[in-house]
């Protein structure tokens, strides 16, 4: 592999000049530039990005920490992020935090030790304080799907409370009054926010959430199926169910069918996220749209703007959920 030194020799100029034409940040005489470019082509020269990083203190790499690498939600998010950076010639180092405190902190350490220019974090276990402290350090970062007022300028988030409200209000508007709820893990902010929205909608109809109709799931299919079974066993009747995400809704629907319940005739079900497969469940899932891919893209743009000074991009930080009405909800009889 040719080095800048060989290029400079072949072109008959100094190292510095070669560097200048590469980075074209300093004027170089056209004829000199040509000589250098020719030499580069002739040697099939590729700059060593490691050496560039060491000298310039810039790695052109962005660390991304997500809870999981699989699942429709994270997939869409990563796609949004990678596409934006790829186009900008930056690259992404991806690691998983598994919603676990130690693993998340570890992941952040790991990414920092790789000299990332910036971090995009989708963290759940780590505390606000920890992040505040991280913000005092000198690795810039954006938070995805989390809102911390003190560093609101680094947060890209969805109004989850509103989404929770919309889901339940939809059911109420369809005449349902006994509404069960399968939540995400309640230590997660988004799970709590969604549930608060649920409560607010109920309150508007002079209703309160019945603890017997509440189940805390895990945001995964099995959480939905177990949740439904448990709710049914409570003995309380309910005509509608809201699940805090689509995966649990899918699990709940499958479990309901196995128990001989007709969806939506005997039970209306709402999901949340509008992940790709929501259209392909049976019945098609009514849900709340979470524009996670766009939000990932915005996180990338934030970095491009704040860290790499690419002013061109508009960055939207606050997103609003939208109700998607499909076939899993029926008016109450």
Partner DNA sequence: TTGTAAGCGTTATCAA
Partner DNA sequence: TTGATAACGCTTACAA
Binding site for DNA (CB under 7 A): 1, 3-5, 12-17, 19-20, 22-23, 25-29, 31-33, 45-48, 51-52, 54-57
Q: Collect all residues with Cβ–Cβ distance below 8 Å to 147 and sequence separation of at least 6.
A: 155, 157, 189
Distance CA 238, CA 236 (A): 7
* Phi, psi angles (nearest 5°) of residue 100: -120, 135
Distances (CA, A) of 192 to 19, 195, 269: 53, 5, 19
Distance CA 276, CA 231 (A): 27
> Least distance from C-beta 8 to DNA, angstroms?
7
Stretch that binds a copy of itself, among 79-87, 193-201, 300-308, 311-319 (CB under 8 A): 79-87
> Is residue 105 close enough to count as binding a copy of itself by CB under 8 A?
no
> Is residue 266 close enough to count as binding a copy of itself by CB under 8 A?
no
> Least distance from C-beta 84 to DNA, angstroms?
23
> Least distance from C-beta 53 to DNA, angstroms?
8
Select from 250, 274, 286, 297 the one that contacts a copy of itself (CB under 8 A).
Answer: 250
> Least distance from C-beta 137 to DNA, angstroms?
16
Select from 31, 113, 208, 312 the one that contacts a copy of itself (CB under 8 A).
Answer: 113
> Least distance from C-beta 119 to DNA, angstroms?
19
Size of the site for a copy of itself (CB under 8 A): 47
Distances (CA, A) of 317 to 3, 13, 188, 302: 43, 48, 20, 9
Stretch that binds a copy of itself, among 105-113, 150-158, 166-174, 209-217 (CB under 8 A): 105-113
**Is the CB of 126 or the CB of 202 nearer to a copy of itself?**
126
Name the nearest CA neighbour of 299 among 135, 113, 194, 142: 142
Q: Taking a C-beta distance cutoff of 8 angstroms, is the pair 115, 91 a contact?
A: no
**Is the CB of 201 or the CB of 298 nearer to a copy of itself?**
298
> Is residue 10 close enough to count as binding a copy of itself by CB under 8 A?
no
Select from 163, 184, 217, 251 the one that contacts a copy of itself (CB under 8 A).
Answer: 251
Partner whose binding site includes residue 16, from a copy of itself, DNA, none (CB under 5 to 8 Å by kind):
DNA
Give the footprint of a copy of itself on residues 15-54 (CB under 8 A): 46-51, 53-54
Q: Provide the b/e sequence for 66-96 (b: ≥16 CB within 10 Å).
A: bbeeebbbbbbbbebbbebbeebebebbbbb
**Is the CB of 28 or the CB of 322 nearer to DNA?**
28
**Is the CB of 110 or the CB of 205 nearer to DNA?**
110
The strand order across the sheet containing 268-270 reads: 214-216, 179-183, 240-243, 268-270
List interacting residues with a copy of itself (CB under 8 A).
46-51, 53-54, 59, 61, 68-72, 74-76, 78-79, 82-83, 86, 91-96, 110, 112-115, 221, 250-251, 253-254, 257, 276-277, 279-282, 284
């Amino acid at each position: 592999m040719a080095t800048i030194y060989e290029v400079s020799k072949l072109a008959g100029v100094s190292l510095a000049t070669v560097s200048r034409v590469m980075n074209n940040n300093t004027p170089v005489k056209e004829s000199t530039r040509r000589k250098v470019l020719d030499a580069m082509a002739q040697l099939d020269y590729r700059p060593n990005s490691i050496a560039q990083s060491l000298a310039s203190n810039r790695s052109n790499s962005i660390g991304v920490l997500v809870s999981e690498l699989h699942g429709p939600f994270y997939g869409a998010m990563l796609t949004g992020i990678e596409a934006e950076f790829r186009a900008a010639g930056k690259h992404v180092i991806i690691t998983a935090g598994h919603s676990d405190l130690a693993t998340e902190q570890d992941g952040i350490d790991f990414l920092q030790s790789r000299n990332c220019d910036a971090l995009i974090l989708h963290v759940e276990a780590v505390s606000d304080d920890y992040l505040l402290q991280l913000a005092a350090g000198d690795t810039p970062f954006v938070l995805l799907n989390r809102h911390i007022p003190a560093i609101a300028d680094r947060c890209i988030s969805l109004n989850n409370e509103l989404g929770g409200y919309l889901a339940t209000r939809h059911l109420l508007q369809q005449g349902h009054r006994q509404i069960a709820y399968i939540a995400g893990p309640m230590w997660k902010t988004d799970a709590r926010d969604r549930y608060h929205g649920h409560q607010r909608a109920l309150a508007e109809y002079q209703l309160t959430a019945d603890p017997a109709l509440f189940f805390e799931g895990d945001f995964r299919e099995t959480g939905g199926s177990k949740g439904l079974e448990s709710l049914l066993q409570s003995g309380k009747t309910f005509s509608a169910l809201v699940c805090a995400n689509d995966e649990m809704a899918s699990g709940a629907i499958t479990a309901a069918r196995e128990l001989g319940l007709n969806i939506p005739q005997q039970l209306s079900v709402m999901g949340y996220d509008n992940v790709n497969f929501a259209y392909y469940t049976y019945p098609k899932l009514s849900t709340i749209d979470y524009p996670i891919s766009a939000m990932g893209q915005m996180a990338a743009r934030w970095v491009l703007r704040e860290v790499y000074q690419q002013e061109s991009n508009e960055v939207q930080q606050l997103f609003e959920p939208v109700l998607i009405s499909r076939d899993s909800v029926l008016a109450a009889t």
